[in-house]
Amino acid sequence: MTDASVSHSSRDPAPQEAVELDPHETAEWVEAIEAVIHRDGPERARYLLERSLLRAASAGAHVGLATSTPYVNTIDPGAETASPGDHAIERRIQALVCWNAIALVTQANATSSELGGHIASYQSAATLYEVGFNHFWHAPTAEHGGDLVYIQGHSAPGIYARAYLEGRISEPRMRAFRREVGGGGLSSYPHPWLMREFWQFPTVSMGLGPIMAIHQARFMTYLQARGTTAEAGAPGTTAEAEAPGVAGRKVWAFMGDGEMDEPESLGAIAIAGRERLEDLIFVVNCNLQRLDGPVRGNGKIIQELESCFRGAGWNVIKVIWGSRWDRLLESEQRPLLMQRMQDALDGDYQTYKSRDGAYVRERFFGAHPRLGELVADWSDEEIFALNRGGHDPQKVYAAYAAAASHRGQPTVILAKTIKGYGMGDAGEGQNTTHQQKQMTERALLAFRDRFELPLTDEQAKAADFYLPPPDGPELTYLRERRAALGGSLPARRPAAKALEVPELSAFQSQLDGSGEREISTTMAFVRILAALLRDERVGPRVVPIVPDESRTFGMEGMFRQLGIFSRVGQLYEPEDSNQLMSYREDERGQILQEGINEPGAFSSWIAAATSYSNHGVSTIPFYVFYSMFGFQRVGDLAWAAADSRARGFLIGGTAGRTTLNGEGLQHEDGHSHLLASAIPNCRAYDPTFAYELAVIVHDGLRRMHAEQEDVFYYVTVMNENYRHPALPPDAREGILRGMYLLSGAEPAGDGPRVQLLGSGTILREVIAAAGLLHDDFGVDADVWSVTSFTELRREAIAAERWNGLHPTAEPRDSHVERCLSARPGPVVAATDYVRAFAEQIRPFVRGRYRTLGTDGFGRSDYRAALRRFFEVDRFHVAVAALHGLAQEGTIDFAIVQGAIEKYELDVESEPPWLR
């Protein structure tokens, strides 16, 4: 066996002849092992070999233990836990679920294929789900918090079909699969946003399910550890009566074998191994196919994955062969059969199941005369009926039972199945099966016959849904099983108890301004966070999350104070133990320091931001990261967070293209706000002053955790130090709506006048420009702080839409219009983001509007040089304002020319975005 229990290291210099010194002695060793196998079983043989190898290694032999095991089931038939279920009824229930799943997709595509859907994937996975639903997965109850099941996105039809049998989904709703407009239909895939009481986890973007599940399981250990703190008496901490806690709960994550190609799928498995996440179970449905064709036609995906997961410290359970193979594997030809099983490639296995028994006899068993003899008196049908492990409820049950009771490691179940199982020549094992959205009448009849469904020809041909009598054995059994496990799944709990959030005055020191001190908004944020952490009610709920950037953001003081969460605490003496701010890991630590791992950190944030629903306990996560490595890096996870109805704060640090000035092109973010603006429930702000930040964070807490709105916040903070004024009276509402008047030229004189809008760090250039305009040109300026162009646009397009649909009613004004309409003069907006950020409000600025932004690649230099380069400094703002006045005819163009010369603007170079 090529990859059996032992492999030589690639460094082993000894050629075969050099070590085969004594064939007789070798034979004796092999015989000895055979005797052990015979007497004490293969496990004992493995143990002895491992011990011997260790001894050889200690003497200098380059040996390594193999990362994969033979291509047979991990659990021997004799060691299987027997399923306690009624196998005949379970088989019938599964057939009904499979039928209704086919009917769901077929009906949706009956008149046109516009809606789409998937049949083959769920058919291959049905047993894997059914065994879980019947025997393993708890719904949330007073006693059990409920297992968290990450369902493969495009297996949704089967999950709907089961919910239909349970009476949770009506037939009209089943007929509205993928028709959500108008409400009531079933979403294409698991989307909590669209079916908020049903789906918990949006998994359909491949790879996100696995990484989110790992960090969910890790977050559960965090909650448990923090809950222990509460039991020890800390006030107001997470362990409280509102939820039964996380004890006994498991995370089950389903994924496809093709999906394992995604870096996110395998990229975090080492974390699960290292953290010994024993309540995490992956089920990889190895149907050997992805969308286009074979996953590893020339290899073996199960063996490859086994190596990866074993290397990462997981317990691996392979469920390759069904019970009908047991007899063959117990025969004398076991070694030869195992060799053949090992030799055949995944591409071969796929082809076997797309053909027939005669083909399997010839190609698989025919490879060796003694194997051929093994099945000589079998019919072709019997050979073809040799089943795969993932379709055998008993094998799957045994694997699940072993996984559920395994301690000390996460478990992955690698189940071999057939894509399009049961579809026959309509798709079973065929390369085209993934795209199959319908079954022909002939295929539907064949399916009915194969699974003995009680349907008339007419019903079958019409792909009618089939609901057995409610008091019949199938539905009675199905209900009883779910009742025993606490109720139906999947089920999402929309609400947790609202939190009492602190008053705005909790952040008084930020509201009062910084006086003479120059600080950054990053520093202000850290102080706001510190104030929140001190609050008795919400402090323990705060989950600070950082990729490897705490020191970048000045948060390292929290290490000592809060501790970094570690399941084992701190087993070493930290280098800086004698210092006040030493590095401290703690079993009850509050900070999640995720390493250099933005997708992982974001996944932890999602787990915390949805804890109100999945754990019945609201937590308040703050994920603080380099804004350039935020949405751009993990945008798909941000989308999944939005779909998940996440509630929490994303803090984009060192934001803007010219504040993080020395770091250059890859670090300087000028567009994350555009990416954030595309997410409907993400409230995004680019504040300048500490009081703005405090108002925004406070309102976020109120909306998300007191009012329980399903929104989350993206707030950018900067590392540029300056003085912060105090909160102006009446500014609060404008800060939240997106703009407010910072300084007006009151009383309005008769001279020329302009409106200057500034956002983020560039607001300070805008304020300075107002001074230049006044001092050098006698022009008055109203200065507006724009905390969010995105929020302004959202409100304005809503008003515009309303007006368009209510033409005879009194028109509604947007906040932008209310602010600017009575203010004379051209409008100039400047931002540290690309112009498109400020362009968002153009249709709602009635006068002349000019935007300045940082379009182009970032680069390193001094801030002043960069702002001049991107043409967003005070001089460019002033000249843009003067140009607007000239265009309006208020001043002469010669004045603008004079200003350009006075301020020495570079007029001949290429625009910055071309350089």
Ligand X SMILES: Cc1ncc(C[n+]2csc(CCOP(=O)(O)OP(=O)(O)O)c2C)c(N)n1
Which listed option, Mg ion, ligand X, none, makes contact with residue 204 (CB within 5 to 8 Å by class)?
ligand X
Nearer to Mg ion, 350 or 661 (CB): 350
**Is the separation of the CB atoms in 881 and 781 below 8 Å?**
yes
Nearer to ligand X, 396 or 731 (CB): 396
Report, in Å, the least distance between residue 421 CB and ligand X. 11
- Tell whether residue 140 is a contact of Mg ion (CB under 5 A): no
Which listed option, ligand X, Mg ion, none, makes contact with residue 788 (CB within 5 to 8 Å by class)?
none
What is the rounded CA–CA span in Å between residue 541 and residue 237? Answer: 7
The helix-helix angle for 631-643 and 598-609 (nearest 10°) equals 20
Nearer to ligand X, 260 or 607 (CB): 260
Nearer to Mg ion, 118 or 645 (CB): 118
Under DSSP, the state recorded for 291 is S
What is the rounded CA–CA span in Å between residue 673 and residue 456? Answer: 58
Residues in contact with ligand X by CB under 6 A are 121, 124, 154, 204-206, 256-259, 285, 287, 289-291, 295, 419, 434
Which listed option, Mg ion, ligand X, none, makes contact with residue 592 (CB within 5 to 8 Å by class)?
none
In DSSP terms, which residues pair with 389 in a beta bridge? none
What is the rounded CA–CA span in Å between residue 821 and residue 818? Answer: 6
Report, in Å, the least distance between residue 178 CB and ligand X. 15
Which listed option, ligand X, Mg ion, none, makes contact with residue 154 (CB within 5 to 8 Å by class)?
ligand X
Which listed option, Mg ion, ligand X, none, makes contact with residue 793 (CB within 5 to 8 Å by class)?
none
Report, in Å, the least distance between residue 465 CB and ligand X. 23
Nearer to Mg ion, 68 or 289 (CB): 289
Report, in Å, the least distance between residue 549 CB and ligand X. 27
Name the residue type at position 304: E
Nearer to ligand X, 115 or 783 (CB): 115
Nearer to ligand X, 326 or 636 (CB): 636
What is the rounded CA–CA span in Å between residue 705 and residue 579? Answer: 37
CA 627 to chain CA mean position, Å: 18
- Tell whether residue 287 is a contact of Mg ion (CB under 5 A): yes
Nearer to Mg ion, 259 or 643 (CB): 259
Out of 257, 306, 346, 686, the only residue in the binding site for Mg ion (CB under 5 A) is: 257
- C-alpha distances in angstroms, 95 versus 122, 126, 597, 730? 12, 9, 43, 65
Nearer to Mg ion, 245 or 294 (CB): 294
Stretch that binds Mg ion, among 38-46, 283-291, 767-775, 851-859 (CB under 5 A): 283-291
Q: Which two tokens stand for residue 64?
A: 């390594």
The position carrying tokens 């669209």 is 194
What is the rounded CA–CA span in Å between residue 595 and residue 705? Answer: 28
Report, in Å, the least distance between residue 873 CB and Mg ion. 55
| Pairing verdict, β 6-8 and 63-65 | antiparallel
Nearer to Mg ion, 157 or 652 (CB): 157
Report, in Å, the least distance between residue 838 CB and Mg ion. 46
What is the rounded CA–CA span in Å between residue 150 and residue 210? Answer: 8
What is the rounded CA–CA span in Å between residue 881 and residue 904? Answer: 16
Backbone angles phi, psi at 416, to 5 degrees: -90, 130
Give the residue from 154, 236, 130 showing the smallest Cα distance to 540: 236
Report, in Å, the least distance between residue 285 CB and Mg ion. 6
Instruction: Report CA Rg, the chain.
Output: 33
739-798 binders of Mg ion (CB under 5 A): none
Report, in Å, the least distance between residue 286 CB and Mg ion. 7
Report, in Å, the least distance between residue 621 CB and Mg ion. 33
What is the rounded CA–CA span in Å between residue 694 and residue 527? Answer: 10
The position carrying tokens 């209510």 is 806
Q: Which residue is nearest to ligand X (CB)?
A: 256
359-378 binders of Mg ion (CB under 5 A): none
Cis peptide before 263 (omega within 30 of 0): no
Report, in Å, the least distance between residue 82 CB and ligand X. 28
3 state DSSP class of 99: helix
Stretch that binds Mg ion, among 25-33, 282-290, 314-322, 483-491 (CB under 5 A): 282-290
Stretch that binds Mg ion, among 158-166, 287-295, 345-353, 808-816 (CB under 5 A): 287-295
Handedness of CA 567, 570, 572, 576 (dihedral sign): positive
Give the residue from 450, 448, 477, 452 showing the smallest Cα distance to 461: 448
Which listed option, ligand X, Mg ion, none, makes contact with residue 205 (CB within 5 to 8 Å by class)?
ligand X
Number of chain positions touching Mg ion (CB under 5 A): 5
Report, in Å, the least distance between residue 159 CB and ligand X. 14
Handedness of CA 596, 597, 601, 604 (dihedral sign): negative
Nearer to Mg ion, 302 or 845 (CB): 302
- Tell whether residue 216 is a contact of Mg ion (CB under 5 A): no
Cis peptide before 490 (omega within 30 of 0): yes
**Is the separation of the CB atoms in 103 and 177 below 8 Å?**
no
Which listed option, ligand X, Mg ion, none, makes contact with residue 107 (CB within 5 to 8 Å by class)?
none
CA 580 to chain CA mean position, Å: 37
- Tell whether residue 258 is a contact of Mg ion (CB under 5 A): yes
Nearer to ligand X, 565 or 639 (CB): 639
Task: Catalogue the E-assigned strands of 584-639.
Answer: 585-586, 592-593, 620-626
What is the rounded CA–CA span in Å between residue 190 and residue 197? Answer: 11
Nearer to ligand X, 433 or 814 (CB): 433
Q: Which two tokens stand for residue 167?
A: 């009476």
Stretch that binds Mg ion, among 253-261, 529-537, 767-775, 882-890 (CB under 5 A): 253-261
Report, in Å, the least distance between residue 636 CB and ligand X. 7
Report, in Å, the least distance between residue 250 CB and ligand X. 22
What is the rounded CA–CA span in Å between residue 247 and residue 226? Answer: 13
Report, in Å, the least distance between residue 243 CB and Mg ion. 36
Report, in Å, the least distance between residue 304 CB and Mg ion. 14
Which listed option, ligand X, Mg ion, none, makes contact with residue 206 (CB within 5 to 8 Å by class)?
ligand X
**Is the separation of the CB atoms in 367 and 443 below 8 Å?**
no
3 state DSSP class of 419: coil
Nearer to ligand X, 157 or 856 (CB): 157
Report, in Å, the least distance between residue 118 CB and ligand X. 7
Nearer to ligand X, 257 or 669 (CB): 257
Under DSSP, the state recorded for 388 is B
Stretch that binds Mg ion, among 20-28, 37-45, 249-257, 779-787 (CB under 5 A): 249-257
- Tell whether residue 826 is a contact of Mg ion (CB under 5 A): no
Nearer to ligand X, 52 or 205 (CB): 205
Give the residue from 341, 338, 381 showing the smallest Cα distance to 359: 381
Which listed option, ligand X, Mg ion, none, makes contact with residue 859 (CB within 5 to 8 Å by class)?
none
The helix-helix angle for 763-777 and 874-887 (nearest 10°) equals 60
606-641 in b/e burial notation, b at 16+ Cβ within 10 A?
A: bbbbbbbbbbbbbbbbbbbbbbbbbbebbbbbbbbb
Q: Which residue is nearest to Mg ion (CB)?
A: 256
Report, in Å, the least distance between residue 285 CB and ligand X. 5
On the CB side of 507, CA atoms within 13 Å amount to 28
Helix (H) or strand (E) holding 774: helix 763-777
| Pairing verdict, β 682-685 and 739-743 | unpaired
Nearer to Mg ion, 245 or 258 (CB): 258
Out of 117, 256, 616, 687, the only residue in the binding site for Mg ion (CB under 5 A) is: 256
**Contact footprint for Mg ion (CB under 5 A):** 256-258, 287, 289
